[in-house]
């Protein structure tokens, strides 16, 4: 039997130069593994997205807690700040839809004459005056808060932004008040001091999507008090690497980021010469040999490879033997 030459193909993970060790995404089957890459370069959200699309797939999508765990386990020391992920949001200013804090759609309104007017294109939150009328307002304006704890309405006369009022009510184990009908509106009106104005728990909804796919998130991990940006601008989301929670940020801020990609493999060819009198074209012999090689390589944590072989022509075999004798 002529000597045979085995050509062994090993698939190994190729790690990009700017990326830190890839982390397997538990959601994706291992037959088509998906991973996260932590990129230490600081970029704005759009620059980070372009980089990820060019080098990998897209900015990281997070579908469940296992993904958070994978990101938190990334080798990223000494950095412990924030990093971009692939979530972004915007407010439909032109929409007539208004939502209460618990995402309940408002069906009752008591707008002042000419309201809502969205003056300046930035009036996304709702306040109530002492005469019982509602106005749309810039969420950054500072007003008193009207909280509701399930049984009583509480007025905090400290002037705060809408977001701070929301947080302030939550600290009191209550929420910014929602008004569902005329009876409730009249009841609250009687509680308000003359000339006062309070924030209600009503605002334009923010629509959140995962970049590239435009999927609506089904899993969220907001930091307490977040999201808190009440502007009509597009909002981008970063993950705090201290605890894995999310914050909304101005998209032009410079942060490192996580890319979502697929293992990029490079082919390594290993040639082996094997002196054998066995008939390597015999299916039983070749199958047995492959099993032995699989077992041997599995001990070295190599499990994904292909095996082929061919007979070396006599002339080439003589040349190879001559090289070996050099």
Do 198 and 143 form a contact (C-beta atoms < 8 A)? yes
**pLDDT tens digits, one per residue of 144-178:** 999 999 999 999 999 999 988 998 999 999 999 99
Residue in the structure block whose two tokens are 């294109």? 121
Written as six digits, the tokens of 238 are: 């970063």
Which residues are paired to 128 by β-bridges?
Answer: 134, 198
Do 258 and 73 form a contact (C-beta atoms < 8 A)? no
Reported as a pLDDT band with limits 50, 70 and 90, residue 251 is: very high
Residue 118 has pLDDT above 50, yes or no: yes
Give the separation between CA 201 and CA 106, rounded to whole angstroms.
Answer: 10
Give 221's Cβ-side CA count (13 Å radius): 20
Burial 68-88 (b: 16+ CB within 10 A, else e): bebbeebebeeeeebbbbbbb
**What's residue 13's pLDDT?**
34
Environment class of residue 224 by beta-carbon count within 10 Å: exposed (0-12), middle (13-18) or buried (19+)?
A: exposed
% the chain with pLDDT above 70? 69
- Mean pLDDT value across the chain: 79
Reported as a pLDDT band with limits 50, 70 and 90, residue 102 is: confident
Nearest Cα neighbor of 211 from 92, 91, 89 is 89
Nearest Cα neighbor of 253 from 56, 83, 88, 91 is 83
**pLDDT tens digits, one per residue of 298-323:** 665 555 555 555 555 555 445 545 55
Residue 111 has pLDDT above 90, yes or no: yes
**What's residue 322's pLDDT?**
54
**What's residue 25's pLDDT?**
41
Environment class of residue 179 by beta-carbon count within 10 Å: exposed (0-12), middle (13-18) or buried (19+)?
A: buried
**pLDDT tens digits, one per residue of 184-223:** 999 999 999 999 999 999 988 888 999 988 898 999 999 9
Nearest Cα neighbor of 88 from 212, 191, 197 is 212
**pLDDT tens digits, one per residue of 284-298:** 776 777 677 767 766
Nearest Cα neighbor of 176 from 144, 204, 223, 206 is 144
**What's residue 153's pLDDT?**
95
Give the separation between CA 109 and CA 134, rounded to whole angstroms.
Answer: 8
Residue 179 has pLDDT above 90, yes or no: yes
**What's residue 11's pLDDT?**
35
> Does residue 259 or residue 312 have the better pLDDT?
259
What is the DSSP track for 115-150?
----GGG-EEEEEEETTS-EEEEETTS-EEEEEE-S
Give the separation between CA 280 and CA 286, rounded to whole angstroms.
Answer: 6
Residue 126 has pLDDT above 80, yes or no: yes
Do 101 and 178 form a contact (C-beta atoms < 8 A)? yes
Q: pTM surpassing 0.75?
A: no
Residue 125 has pLDDT above 70, yes or no: yes
Residue 246 has pLDDT above 80, yes or no: yes
**pLDDT tens digits, one per residue of 26-59:** 333 333 345 888 999 999 999 999 999 998 889 9
């Amino acid at each position: 039997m002529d000597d045979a030459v085995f050509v062994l193909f090993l698939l190994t993970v190729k790690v990009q130069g700017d990326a830190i060790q890839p982390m397997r995404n538990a959601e994706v089957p291992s037959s088509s593994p998906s991973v996260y890459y932590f990129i230490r370069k600081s970029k704005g959200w759009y620059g980070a997205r372009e980089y990820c699309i060019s080098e990998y797939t897209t900015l990281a999508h997070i579908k469940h807690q296992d993904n958070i765990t994978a990101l938190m386990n990334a080798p990223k020391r000494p950095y412990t700040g924030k990093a971009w992920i692939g979530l972004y949001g915007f407010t439909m200013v032109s929409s007539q839809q208004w939502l209460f804090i618990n995402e309940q759609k408002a069906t009752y309104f008591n707008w002042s004459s000419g309201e809502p007017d969205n003056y300046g294109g930035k009036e996304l939150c709702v306040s109530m005056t002492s005469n019982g009328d509602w106005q749309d307002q810039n969420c950054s304006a500072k007003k008193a808060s009207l909280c509701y704890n399930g049984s009583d309405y509480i007025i905090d006369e400290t002037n705060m932004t809408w977001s701070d009022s929301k947080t302030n009510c939550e600290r009191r184990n209550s929420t910014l008040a929602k008004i569902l009908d005329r009876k409730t509106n009249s009841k609250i009106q009687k509680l308000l001091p003359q000339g006062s104005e309070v924030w209600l728990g009503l605002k334009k909804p923010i629509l959140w999507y995962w970049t590239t796919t435009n999927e609506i998130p089904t899993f969220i991990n907001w930091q307490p008090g977040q999201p808190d940006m009440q502007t009509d601008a597009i909002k981008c989301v970063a993950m705090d690497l201290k605890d894995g929670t999310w914050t909304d940020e101005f998209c032009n801020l410079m942060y490192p980021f996580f890319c979502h990609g697929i293992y990029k493999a490079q082919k390594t060819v290993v040639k082996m010469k094997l002196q054998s009198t066995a008939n390597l074209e015999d299916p039983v012999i070749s199958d047995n040999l492959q099993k032995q090689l699989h077992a041997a390589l599995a001990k070295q944590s190599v499990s994904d490879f292909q095996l082929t072989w061919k007979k070396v022509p006599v002339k080439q075999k003589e040349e190879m033997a001559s090289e070996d004798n050099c």
